[in-house]
């Protein structure tokens, strides 16, 4: 509307100006000399002008079309980049998320027919740390290629970040179908990888969750379930896969609750030492006591170490707990007969603390407890994780005068080489062998062989889990020096000074 007003105003002003200055006359005078021109000439001019204008219009529209197509292509490229993992070329988290949403959204109440698998690599971090990110990156690229080669058309592989990958697998809902794929994938990733001159061995663990339908099923919920199953696969040995089960949710909640309460318990000093006698089998004299952790929770009551030690290790609390137990135990040991020793369990996680032996010595020094009366128990698995770290710590503890015992012998993976090269003083034969001695000839032979081997290596032996006189007698005949078990006494908050031997013969 304003445009129209401007056009009318300009036309009016133009007409007035032409009229005022008599420009109509001037225009007429100007056109007079051209009156002889033919109308055809004019037409030719008009036609050529029209053709020219058409060509210009066509070219312009072609140009605009090209620009539009280029823009579409650029947008497409950007979209692809936004959905692709730059390192491996696989789909990224966003892509996976979108695909899951689409699959769930297609039929939210009946979203069967596919599963989500999450896998991550075992032992990737040390390779990345030791050989650098360049090697780590190349390894991830090779892993992506190998994993991709195992998939069927229609399956989607994505890298979620770091060494974590996810998979959407179409399935006929048969577990075996997915199991086969998971097994193939894990086996292929456990084969060695070659990067230039370097040969790397990694492995993978996998968690699998089936889409089950229902409106509560979201990509997040599904991924979380696969994650829980992955966590289970890792805690149950790695290099394997697990399917999600509802019980896992409950387990995780329980674990989170225990961890929360445990932090409080450490602060409030609710974890106390219980003492179980270690008895000389020849003369039934109490030589010392094993210190066993008991958490006395204000409402739950006593909590067994089986329930909280692992969580304390994972939550980084075990060091504090262990040193607090030693402090409390040394306090009690003040009144004990001279030479009575304490046997303290040390977790594999604590071996990573280079200050461990200094911290222990500080406590002993303050309590006036002799280092020679402290025995340190470590389980065989501590040696498997990192034998060099374990060796350094063991050497340092030994150098300060403590004795070293290998706990639960026979259940782990320590080799004879470890026993020869590490400064142990004692083997503790695991209670499972001792308890089976009556029924199983194999167990008897094994216990006998362990005692003989131990002696030939210059080590003493303690048998755990002695519940009957018959076992105590047989172990004494086999040459075992020390016994521990309910026959002599259960773990108790106060160390028993004299034995009231119980149990069946
Ligand atoms: P362990 O060091 O092998 O301790 C021996 C376990 O066997 C104790 O269980 C003890 O109560 C039990 N036991 C002893 N004699 C008998 C018997 O005759 N029959 C039966 N059935 N059991 C017997 P507890 O106190 O439940 O400790 C379990 C495990 O928890 C310990 O095994 C040890 O590995 C760990 N643990 C306990 N306290 C600590 C601690 O302060 N630090 C660390 N890192 N681990 C600890
Ligand atoms: Mg022990
Ligand atoms: Mg033991």
Which tens digits make up the pLDDT trace of 454-486?
A: 999 999 999 999 999 999 999 999 999 999 999
pLDDT tens for 331-375 read 999 989 999 999 999 998 898 888 999 999 999 999 999 999 999
**Mean pLDDT of all residues in 178-201:** 92
pLDDT tens for 87-117 read 999 999 999 999 998 888 765 555 557 899 9
Kindly report the protein residue whose alpha carbon is nearest to atom 11 of ligand 1: 491
What pLDDT is attached to residue 451?
96
Q: Which residues of 405-431 are buried (b: 16+ CB within 10 A; e: fewer)?
A: bbbbbbebebeeebbeebebebbbbbb
Q: Which two tokens stand for residue 216?
A: 């509560």
Of all helices (H) and strands (E), which one includes residue 502? none
Atom index in ligand 1 nearest the CA of residue 466 equals: 18
DSSP label of 478? H
Q: At what angle do helices 219-235 and 93-106 cross, to 10 degrees?
A: 120
Residues 190, 172: Cα–Cα separation, whole Å: 27
The residue among 18 and 192 whose pLDDT is bigger is 192
The CA 292 to ligand 1 mean position distance, Å, reads 6
Q: Which of 345, 348, 471, 501 to mutate to test the pocket of ligand 1 (most atoms within 8 A of CB)?
A: 345
345 pocket-lining for ligand 1 (C-beta < 6 Å): yes
Atom index in ligand 1 nearest the CA of residue 428 equals: 3
pLDDT tens for 378-432 read 987 777 666 777 888 999 999 999 999 999 988 766 667 778 888 999 999 999 9
The CA 305 to ligand 1 mean position distance, Å, reads 7
Query: Which residues, by Cβ under 5 Å, contact ligand 2, an ion?
Result: 345, 377, 407
118 pocket-lining for ligand 1 (C-beta < 6 Å): no
Kindly report the protein residue whose alpha carbon is nearest to atom 42 of ligand 1: 345
Domains and CATH numbers, the chain: 2-80 (no CATH), 93-244 (3.30.70.270), 258-483 (3.20.20.450)
Atom index in ligand 1 nearest the CA of residue 377 equals: 2
Q: Which two tokens stand for residue 349?
A: 């996680």
> Please, what's the largest Cα pairwise distance for the chain?
146
Kindly report the protein residue whose alpha carbon is nearest to atom 15 of ligand 1: 485
325 pocket-lining for ligand 1 (C-beta < 6 Å): yes
434 pocket-lining for ligand 1 (C-beta < 6 Å): no
DSSP 10-58: HHHHHHHHHHHTTHHHHHHHHHGGGTTS-HHHHHHHHHHHHHHHHHHHH
Kindly report the protein residue whose alpha carbon is nearest to atom 14 of ligand 1: 485
207 pocket-lining for ligand 1 (C-beta < 6 Å): no
Atom index in ligand 1 nearest the CA of residue 486 equals: 18
pLDDT tens for 299-328 read 998 899 999 999 999 899 999 999 999 999
């Amino acid at each position: 509307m304003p445009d129209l007003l401007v056009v009318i105003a300009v036309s009016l002003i133009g007409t007035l100006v032409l009229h005022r200055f008599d420009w109509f006359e001037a225009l007429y005078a100007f056109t007079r000399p051209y009156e002889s021109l033919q109308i055809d000439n004019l037409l030719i001019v008009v036609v050529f002008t029209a053709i020219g204008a058409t060509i210009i219009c066509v070219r312009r529209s072609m140009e605009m079309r090209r620009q539009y197509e280029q823009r579409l292509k650029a947008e497409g490229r950007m979209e692809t980049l936004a959905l692709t993992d730059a390192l491996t070329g696989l789909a990224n988290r966003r892509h996976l998320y979108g695909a899951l949403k689409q699959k769930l959204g297609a039929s939210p109440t009946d979203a069967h027919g596919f599963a989500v698998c999450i896998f991550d690599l075992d032992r990737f971090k040390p390779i990345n740390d030791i050989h650098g990110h360049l090697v780590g990156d190349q390894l991830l690229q090779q892993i992506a290629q190998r994993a991709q080669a195992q998939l069927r058309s229609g399956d989607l592989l994505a890298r979620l970040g770091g060494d974590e990958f996810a998979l959407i697998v179409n399935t006929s809902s048969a577990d075996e179908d997915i199991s086969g794929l998971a097994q193939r994938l894990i086996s292929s990733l456990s084969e060695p990888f070659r990067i230039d001159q370097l040969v790397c061995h990694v492995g993978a663990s996998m968690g699998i969750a089936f889409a089950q339908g229902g409106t509560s099923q979201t990509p997040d919920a599904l991924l979380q379930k696969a994650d829980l199953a992955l966590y289970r696969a890792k805690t149950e040995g790695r290099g394997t896969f697990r399917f999600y089960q509802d019980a896992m949710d409950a387990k995780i909640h329980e674990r989170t609750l225990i961890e929360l309460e445990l932090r409080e318990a450490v602060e409030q000093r609710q974890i106390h030492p219980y003492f179980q006698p270690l008895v000389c089998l020849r003369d039934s004299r109490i030589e010392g006591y094993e210190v066993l952790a008991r958490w006395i929770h204000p409402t739950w009551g006593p909590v067994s170490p089986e329930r909280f030690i692992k969580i304390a290790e994972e939550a980084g609390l075990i060091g504090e707990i262990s040193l607090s137990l030693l402090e409390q135990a040394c306090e009690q040991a003040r009144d004990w007969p001279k030479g009575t020793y304490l046997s303290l369990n040390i977790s594999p996680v604590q071996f990573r603390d280079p200050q461990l032996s200094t911290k222990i010595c500080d406590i002993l020094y303050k309590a006036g407890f002799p280092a020679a009366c402290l025995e340190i128990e470590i389980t065989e698995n501590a040696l498997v994780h990192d034998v060099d770290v374990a060796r350094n710590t063991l050497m340092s503890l030994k150098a300060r005068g403590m004795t070293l015992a290998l706990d639960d012998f026979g259940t782990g993976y320590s080799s004879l080489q470890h026993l020869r090269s590490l400064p142990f003083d004692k083997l503790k034969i695991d209670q499972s062998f001792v308890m089976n001695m009556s029924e199983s000839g194999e167990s008897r032979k094994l216990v006998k062989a362990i005692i003989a081997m131990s002696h030939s290596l210059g080590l003493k032996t303690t048998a755990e889990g002695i519940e009957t006189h018959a076992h105590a007698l047989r172990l004494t005949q086999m040459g075992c020096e020390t016994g521990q078990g309910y026959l002599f006494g259960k773990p108790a908050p106060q160390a028993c000074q004299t034995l009231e031997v119980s149990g069946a013969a």
